[in-house]
Amino acid sequence: MRIMGLDFGSRTVGVAVSDGLNITAQGVEIIRRKEENKLRRTLARIEELILEYQVEEIVLGFPKHMNGTEGVRAELTEEFKEKLERRTGLPVTLWDERLTTVAADRTMMEAGIRREDRKEYVDMIAAVLILQGYLDRRNME
């Protein structure tokens, strides 16, 4: 059984998948769309990846404000969660993603990736960090 991690943004979805033992997360791709509310192709691509990687569970980054409150992005993420559950039939867990994009950007900076190139990968690395946090917590229990 593998677990998929998703970083849902206004125009992109970063995708990561666990290894077969659910110990590590690897980045898979970034799904891009032209308009924020156009999700049909995004959901179809996620379904393809679920089949390809034999995913049985999804972890979706949940964007809370630093003070713990929820805003518009959190509401949109909850709507996306419901669509994912209906379309895939898989359980979807919301996972606090505060600071994952910052951490992803910092990781790439430390790796010497140029600023212009970082935008290309930040969502996928954020998905890896979301999924890895979930896996680490789960494996501690």
Backbone torsions φ then ψ of 3, nearest 5 degrees: -120, 140
| Average pLDDT, integer, range 65-82 | 83
Q: In what order do the strands lie in the sheet with 92-96?
A: 25-32, 12-18, 2-8, 55-62, 92-96
- pLDDT digits over 14-53, tens only? 999 999 999 999 999 999 988 777 899 999 999 999 999 9
Residue 72: per-residue pLDDT: 85
Dihedral sign for Cα 105, 111, 117, 123, please: negative
Domain ranges for the chain? 2-140
Residue 10: per-residue pLDDT: 84
| Average pLDDT, integer, range 60-76 | 81
Does domain 2-140 sit in CATH 3.30.420.140? Answer: yes
- pLDDT digits over 96-131, tens only? 886 676 666 677 677 777 777 667 777 888 899 899
**Whole-structure pTM value:** 0.88
